[in-house]
Amino acid sequence: MQPALLQLRNVRKVYRRGLLDRVPAFSLEAGFSVDAPAVIGVMGPNGSGKTTLFELIAGSNMPTSGEVLVRGVNIHRVKYAERDRLAIHYHQSYQVRQFRRLWPSIMLQSARSDYPLVHLFDEPQFNTSDGYIGFMLKFFRKLRREGRVVFICLHPNERYHVDIMREVCERFIFVRQGTLTHVDDWPTLMKLEPVRAYLGTLAEPFEGAASGAPGALPAGNHS
């Protein structure tokens, strides 16, 4: 039996402040696994720990404790130049995040993979013209068909951001003050009061009927 595509095993990240007392300023805890290809939506307030979560998964931020396993391989023990063969973190305008190097690469193992199994899109920019959103939705689904795990983190401030999450994501993670809440579907997500408070008016029910109507994705092929 193959190991899970992605497993966060008792992962904890603590940021501290102060030179002597080193008082904890923020902490994030995560423990979950993704056993099959999926497109997972991630959302939460600014400063809640979303980017820290992505950095931990991609191997660019060392956890205080715990392990991040991609297909059974601890990504934080993989050579820096090969970590993006396991998980790759795209930040905003699809720039790849850089690694923090704590150990010489000669002391680390090979990735044993040629193409990333986990793709992390951190607040990607969506152009609403010329079918760009449809192109990106097709790309996310293509990655899933190819056996990958796709995380899409958005900070919704427009109705179409919510539509994108509803249309392409099959499960969700809501991050709040370093705590992760896992939800299996959109209707259940919308029942959570912290999520509704975070989304504000964007959480209101709507009919995504005709293209161009309120609540519908911009024109383009989204299949």
pLDDT digits (tens, 9 = 90+) for 128-168: 777 889 999 999 999 999 999 999 999 998 999 999 999 99
Q: Are 135 and 223 in contact (CB under 8 A)?
A: no
Residue 112 tokens read as: 């044993």
Residue 151 belongs to a domain? yes
Q: Give the per-residue pLDDT at 187.
A: 94
Residue 50 belongs to a domain? yes
pLDDT digits (tens, 9 = 90+) for 24-79: 889 999 999 999 999 999 999 999 999 999 999 999 999 999 999 999 999 999 99
Which of 201, 132, 154, 130 lies closest to 43, judged by CA? Answer: 154
The total of structural domains in the chain comes to 1
Residue 15 belongs to a domain? no
φ, ψ for residue 34, nearest 5 deg: -120, 110
Q: Give the per-residue pLDDT at 95.
A: 53
Of the two residues 17 and 90, the one the predictor is more confident about is 90
> Looking up tokens 């820290």, which residue turns up?
52
- Provide the CB-side half-sphere exposure for 135 (13 A, CA): 8
* CA atoms of 128 and 126, how far apart (whole Å): 6
Intra-chain end-to-end CA distance of the chain, in Å: 33
pLDDT digits (tens, 9 = 90+) for 176-221: 999 999 999 999 999 999 999 999 999 876 444 333 334 456 544 4
Residue 126 belongs to a domain? yes
Residue 46 tokens read as: 């600014």
Residue 28 belongs to a domain? no
Q: Give the per-residue pLDDT at 6.
A: 98
Helix, strand, coil % (nearest 5) of the chain? 25, 30, 45
What domain range includes position 97? 36-63+79-203
> Looking up tokens 């300023």, which residue turns up?
25
**What is the domain-level CATH number for residue 183?**
3.40.50.300
Q: Are 186 and 172 in contact (CB under 8 A)?
A: yes
Residue 210 belongs to a domain? no
Residue 178: other Cβ atoms inside 10 A: 20
Residue 94 belongs to a domain? yes
Residue 142 belongs to a domain? yes
